[in-house]
Amino acid sequence: MNLNPFWSMSANTSRKRADGEEHSGHVEQRSSPARLPFGKKQLPPIPKNAAPITKPVSMGTPTQSANGTHASYGPFYLEYSLLAEFTLVIKQKLPGIYVQPSYKSALMWFGVIFIRHGLYQDGVFKFTVYIPDNYPDGECPKLVFDIPVFHPLVDPVSGELDVRRAFTKWRRNHNHIWQVLMYARTIFYKINTTEPLNPEAAVLYEKDVHLFKSKVVDSVKLCNRHLFDQPKIDDPYAISFSPWNPAVHEEVKDRMFTCKRRPDDHHKGAHVSGLSWVKPGSTQPFSKDDGPPPS
Amino acid sequence: MSWLSRLNPRGPGSRSGRSAAPSSPCTADPETCLMVFENHWRQVSWVLEQQEPSSSSDDLTAVRNHTDQMLCLLAEERPAESPEGVADVAPMGPILELVVTENILESLVQWHLRRGLDPDSQGALLKLFEMLIGQSQQPLLQHTAVHHPLLRLLGACADPELGCPLALENSLVLLLNQICVSMARQPVVLEMLFRAAPAQQGSTNLLIFSLLVPFIHRDGAIGQQARDALLLVMAASASHESVARYISENSYFCPVLATGLSALYSSLPRKIEVRGDDWHALRREDWMGVSSLVLFMNSLEFCNAVVQVAHPLVRSQLLDYLHNGFLVPVMGPALHKSSVDEMIASTAYLDLFLRSVSETSLLKTFLRFILLHRHDNDTILDTLLTRISSNSRLCMVSLSLFRTLLSLNCEDVMLQLILRYLLPCTHVMLSQRRAIRETDLYGKSADKFLSLIPECCRLNPATSAERDEDNALWAKVFSLYFHPTASSGGGSGGGGSSTPTSMEPPQSGPSSSRPLSPESPMHQQQTNTECLDWDSGYLDYLKDSRRGIEFCSWACRDWSAPYDGENPSPNTAPPPPPPPTANPSMAMYPEHFSLQQGGSSNTPPGQQRAAIVAAARSEWSSSERDSGEWDVTIGKNNCISLTPRSKKRSLQREELLPKPIPQLVPSSSSSAPPLLTSHPASSPAPHNPTSTVTVSYQAMYNGTSGQGDGCSDNRDRGLEVKKVKRDLGEPQYLDENANQNGSLVSCSPQSCTALPQTIFSNSEMSDAKSLCPNQISSPSPVTQPTSDTKLLTGDTSNPHNASSDLVESNQTQQSVESLIKELLEQAPGEPQLPGDSNGQGISIEAFTQELRELEDRVKERSRAAVLQEDTPGDSVSSERPEEEPSSGLEVKLTVDPKVEGPVVGLCSPARPLNQPASQPYTGPFMVVLFAKLENMLQNSLYVNILLTGIVAQLACYPQPLLRSFLLNTNMVFQPSVKSLIQVLGSVKNRIEAFAASHEDFPAMLRKAQQYLVARGKVDWTDSPAAVPTLRRSDSLVKSRKPSLGEMILRHTNSPTRARHAAQLALAHVRDGSQSLHSALFRGGGGGGASGLEKQAEALRVKNAVYCAVIFCEFLKELAALAQEHAVTLPFPQGQETEE
């Protein structure tokens, strides 16, 4: 019964996806009143909010610098590295995946993943990503499902996904958080049973797929049943779901669809529209000419 | 549509004072009015009906009086009540009805015309009609009975014989204006007027229009009214194809408009009187007082408005005429004028025009002109580029122009300036191409930039302990801005599985839904600092960078390609203009050179232009071929020129020049390439700058404020060099020099072609001699480090190098080697060479600067080397003209080695000596910017602010090709390509060396910071006074304040501090920099130096200290930009057009 409103919502999001919008960050907007000011710019809240939290990290800087990495990146660098990672996530437009850094720390991201087909079809799994504070020089981020999904690679107790098997060594410049998210999505479509965190699931998958499937269905149902629960972590930016309420959501939805991102001070110049008379494919100025004055 | 909105028809109230409006019984009821009217008409018609027009004045008076009354009544009449309330069809009032049926107006006008229209009645009729049309309560013009007589009257005004007396022009234009206003209200009228039988309108179809056209460019209210009226016609005709066709095909509107601009332009001041040392662009308050400029701007604004509202036919014709009738024939040559003053003026004008034009298609016309039009085979852009390297106000004005160009975010401009050179991706190692798209994910580049902040500039004692690590600074900044309490739970390391809760930090942060705003606390912090806390403010830079990048990427969202190293494909990209050695362009202009050769100082004026062009061209071509490195050569005159270095050449040089190299100065101390003033050969010396000239020149010199000093020095000292000049000197000194010398003084990239033979032209000996006297005289801000001087002295022995330079620049077509050989053989005796050099000199101003520099250098040299006693300057000067040719070469040769030494030291570290012929080339713009940047220590404060502002502006562009080139410090470029980080590194070294040699550097640095803060404050406060009303007013205002200045400004928000700062700065202004001088740099000079020397030294020191301040801020800006690029999202294409 709850599902109905819920699915309407998810449909919205997917449609939005289809539009090629990059505003994945907006999807969760409705659930977090705190983000209203966020509408225009995507990223600003993160540094602001994250800053207080990261400060402890900055205190830890000396040790960081001691560990020999050349630059021993200060908090600014850390903040911006994470911001940049988040930017990459947005650019990737991962299908069915939405994340949002927490209000309190840039090192903790809330996310939700929608599984649209396959064994886990209709699954909506909330998760949290924990990024080591010596990022990007540390280990790979952890990804923990709020509710342990029944899956060979998900710890049945903690809900943690076995990320490290995919990123044995976290290599800066090569590994990015969006890859972790992508990986989290992949496991639901391609089941891998080697060295499982959940041996039961692995064995079942190998030996008794039918039972495995039914367990998965149960798991999915369980997750969806708890969809409207309060977020596990109390954070203004935590992702929370609520039944579709036109009074609340319609307007937000409309705004999401109509919202155009513009620079803050786009009024400052007259030629903001960007002048170009270059014909696409050409590198000659004024090649797109429409009857130029002969010279 | 601001223009149209201004055109509110005047209400009746405004014309109460007019004599034409007799007191009327307006309040009377319609019937009474009609009776009165009829009564008047009866009496008038009695007169009119007399067969032969009486010449009696009684009749005339009577008719006039009655007519006045009648038309008043007509004007006052309200339309009859319309039963349906349909406004359009409101029935005529009874009076109007009578007028129409009896064709009263026609009869009246006919009668006047029959009896011969005397100016008096003509004027009276004009006024009457104007009153009628302007005040009428009901639409009149659509009635044939009204507009026919009106056209008849106007036809009389257009009649070649009758014409319109001067005195009536005002009335005529006012009437026309009123007609146009009502036409704008009722578009039908236009159609009717247009269709009216030609008989009524004389030869033209649209009489109103052709009557207005002559007034387009008039001054004052009448011109304004005419333009307003025309604009209304334009707007009304926008949808009338036939009218538009008529305007474009049968009227002179467009040609008059465009060529009128040309005429107006020619009356603009050729020289812009400059007040401040920081002046670099025309602000509104600059030109509001210059009537000719106001006139021009009015017309330009009108063009802009016409383009905005007119029918496409008219618009395209107008643009066409503007291009071919104004830009090409007038603007083009103006930009190539021979005197520096004129170049400065025309450049500043062009900049102003670009900033004032708001219509895209008009802007496009301008940009086409700049980018594509070739004036004597060089594009305007090329010419403008060469001037950045000049060492004068011309440089600042040119920079300002380029800032305007960059601010347009125009793909075509960026393509021509930079991107086409980067497109082939030959500037990066093949393996690095993938990296082009990478952003600074982990702050590496930012870190690198920040690490270049010289130790000596980190003044803040609080942070001094933590200096080694940049992060320490950030930590400090952070702790300033954020609650300490907000911390604690931060990291759950990479350990085992952690429960979410464990990571939860304590709720110290604001729990409200609003995110923390770090800005506010930060600003509070900032305001508490009296001086700038130079470790802080980074957040400001980040914010600014974000804004700048977002704005820029939004503005570029409709570009045709992403320029990411893949699209457009590097392989298909057409090769950019050929680099140095190829130099095809040179081949095209041999004649210019030959012209130049002939001319010594006596070059006929006619040749000047060509010479200039040639000079510019040669500069350009030389710059083209450079590989990103520069050779500095000192001309005979000690003028120095930067030459883009090709590997080949450098090799040869070294071979050729035995001496220079040993004398290399440590890069840090030597100010590398001293400004490249190329000296026009002999001419400079003979012509003495008048005192006024010198002053202006000083002011301009690098924008330093020390002008006064310099002048006084010169005069007082009566140095021989100066003397020589003075003797010849006339007020026109500048112009003459320009003409004769015609040398582009300031172009850096220029190979020494323009070796000016200076005063010292005769021989090395003479050189030395002349130098001695100069020692004393050189008050001018000399940028060169003493080391240079030493080099100079030592180098004199080798003349050949210079010659080689000459050869190259002039005759690139031949193989360099053979040319050099030839030159070496011929050089000493060859008269032609000097001629060449002469031809190149463009500007007098530059020339004077060069002289100054020469003097300075000489003085330094003498100081360093202790040359022999003074030679009488006069003798030297007198000799010059004759000897110049030969001597020029020699001198040049001698000097060159010296300069080169340091340069080599400076630039070369990274570069290999041998380079393949086809070197990657990043284009003249980047090359000249980097050259200028590398020379930061010698640049004046204002040049540096402009310069760094432009580079920062470039760094905002999101195109990966450009972004990676500027900001990716990890990128590996081809060895011949100099990277920004390399350039900055060399600046850093120089600053550190400078600081090390001045023990009071910290104190000076602090004072310089204070001054900058104060200055920013003053600027800020007085800007409101000058509220520009141009459309792009804010950008205009903005143009005054380079971004760095704003940054600095930000820190002064407290009232008391502001006041204090203002006082400081005002004092500075008042005392003409003296106070600052003394305050900042007491006793800057060496112990035994004379006062003048001290001042020169002080100037040098001042530039260096300011440079250090700017440099640090610049690095922060770049670091912030690098970081922000990583977190900026692109804007989807075609998202939205400007509202």
- pLDDT per residue over A68-127, tens digit each? 233 333 667 888 889 899 999 998 899 999 999 999 888 999 999 999 999 999 999 999
Q: Is A286 in Cβ contact with B364 (below 8 Å)?
A: yes
Question: Chain A within 8 Å of B1120 (Cβ-Cβ)?
Answer: no
What span, in angstroms and rounded, lies between the C-alpha atoms of B23 and B36?
Answer: 14
Chain B nearest CA to A204, separation (Å): 24
What span, in angstroms and rounded, lies between the C-alpha atoms of B1120 and B440?
Answer: 10
Whether B1112 has a pLDDT exceeding 70, the answer reads: yes
What span, in angstroms and rounded, lies between the C-alpha atoms of B293 and B771?
Answer: 43
Identity of the residue in B328, B368, B1126 whose CB atom sits nearest the CB atom of A87? B1126
pLDDT at B239: 84
Q: How many interface pairs between A and B have CB atoms less than 8 angstroms apart?
A: 330
Nearest C-alpha neighbor of B254 from the set B293, B202, B302, B207: B302
Q: Is A73 in Cβ contact with B515 (below 8 Å)?
A: no
- CA A254 to chain CA centroid, Å, is 22
Structure tokens at A216: 């998965």
Mean pLDDT of B245-263: 88
Q: Is B503 in Cβ contact with A130 (below 8 Å)?
A: yes
Mutate: best of B413, B542, B560, partner A, most A CBs <10 A: B560
Residues 6 or more apart whose CB falls under 8 angstroms from that of B815 comprise none
Whether B327 has a pLDDT exceeding 90, the answer reads: yes
Determine the 3-state secondary structure of B1123 from DSSP. helix
Name the strand (E) or helix (H) holding B982.
helix B980-997
CA-nearest residue to B557 within chain A is A274
- What DSSP designation does A109 have? E
Nearest C-alpha neighbor of A143 from the set A161, A125, A164, A126: A161
| B15 pLDDT tier (thresholds 50, 70, 90) | very low
Task: Give how far Cα B535 sits from Cα of B450, B523, B941, Å.
Answer: 10, 14, 21
Backbone angles phi, psi at B549, to 5 degrees: -70, -45
Cβ atoms of B779 and B710 within 8 Å: the answer is yes
List strand residue ranges (DSSP E) for B692-833, in order: none
Parallel, antiparallel or unpaired: strands A97-101 and B630-634: unpaired
Cβ atoms of B811 and B819 within 8 Å: the answer is yes
Reported ipTM exceeds the 0.85 cut: no
Structure tokens at B733: 């000194």
CA-nearest residue to A83 within chain B is B1127
Parallel, antiparallel or unpaired: strands A142-145 and B374-375: unpaired
Chain mean pLDDT for chain A: 74
- CA B564 to chain CA centroid, Å, is 30
Identity of the residue in B368, B446, B479 whose CB atom sits nearest the CB atom of A286? B368
Residues 6 or more apart whose CB falls under 8 angstroms from that of A14 comprise A96, A114, A116
Structure tokens at B246: 């008529």
Cross-strand bridge partners of residue A147: none
Task: Give how far Cα B282 sits from Cα of A57, B288, B294, Å.
Answer: 50, 10, 12
CA-nearest residue to B369 within chain A is A295
Question: Chain A within 8 Å of B434 (Cβ-Cβ)?
Answer: no
Residues 6 or more apart whose CB falls under 8 angstroms from that of A107 comprise A50, A53, A54, A57, A82, A130, A131, A132, A133, A135, B490, B491, B503
Cβ atoms of B193 and B208 within 8 Å: the answer is yes
Cross-strand bridge partners of residue A97: A113
Mutate: best of A271, A282, A286, A288, partner B, most B CBs <10 A: A271
Taking the CA atoms of chain B, what radius of gyration do you get in angstroms? 35
Nearest C-alpha neighbor of B769 from the set B868, B889, B628, B647: B868
Whether B494 has a pLDDT exceeding 50, the answer reads: no
- Whole-prediction pTM: 0.66
Mutate: best of A30, A55, A145, partner B, most B CBs <10 A: A55
Report chain B residues whose CB lies below 8 A from the CB of A104: 504-505, 509
DSSP helix, strand, coil percent of chain B (3-state; round to 5): 65, 0, 35
Question: Chain A within 8 Å of B500 (Cβ-Cβ)?
Answer: yes
Question: Chain A within 8 Å of B329 (Cβ-Cβ)?
Answer: no
Identity of the residue in A52, A136, A270 whose CB atom sits nearest the CB atom of B483? A52
Report chain A residues whose CB lies below 8 A from the CB of B482: 51-52, 55
Instruction: Write the single-letter amino acid at A97.
Output: I
Instruction: Write the single-letter amino acid at B482.
Output: F
Task: Give how far Cα A244 sits from Cα of A6, A8, A10, A33, A241, Å.
Answer: 6, 7, 10, 16, 9
Cβ atoms of A136 and A207 within 8 Å: the answer is no
Q: Is B560 in Cβ contact with A282 (below 8 Å)?
A: yes
Cβ atoms of B1094 and B1114 within 8 Å: the answer is no
Whether B498 has a pLDDT exceeding 50, the answer reads: no
Identity of the residue in A58, A274, A295 whose CB atom sits nearest the CB atom of B372? A295
CA-nearest residue to A92 within chain B is B1129
- CA B21 to chain CA centroid, Å, is 51
Report chain A residues whose CB lies below 8 A from the CB of B474: 58, 74-77
Structure tokens at B912: 């290999």
Q: Is A278 in Cβ contact with B561 (below 8 Å)?
A: yes
Q: Is A74 in Cβ contact with B484 (below 8 Å)?
A: no
- pLDDT per residue over B51-69, tens digit each? 665 667 777 888 888 888 8
Chain B nearest CA to A210, separation (Å): 30
Chain A nearest CA to B646, separation (Å): 27
Mutate: best of B381, B442, B572, B1035, partner A, most A CBs <10 A: B442
List strand residue ranges (DSSP E) for B588-685, in order: 630-634, 640-644
- What DSSP designation does B418 have? I
Chain A nearest CA to B1039, separation (Å): 12
Whether B205 has a pLDDT exceeding 50, the answer reads: yes
pLDDT at B51: 65
Instruction: Write the single-letter amino acid at A217.
Output: V
**Which has the higher per-residue pLDDT, B360 or B768?**
B360
Chain A nearest CA to B578, separation (Å): 16
- CA B954 to chain CA centroid, Å, is 16
Identity of the residue in B322, B561, B1128 whose CB atom sits nearest the CB atom of A280? B561
pLDDT at B86: 54
Chain A nearest CA to B293, separation (Å): 23
Chain mean pLDDT for chain B: 64
Where are the alpha helices (H) located in A123-281, listed in sequence order? 177-186, 199-207, 209-225, 246-258
Cβ atoms of A46 and A101 within 8 Å: the answer is yes
pLDDT at B634: 34
- pLDDT per residue over B395-405, tens digit each? 999 999 999 99
For chain A, give the longest Cα–Cα distance. 80
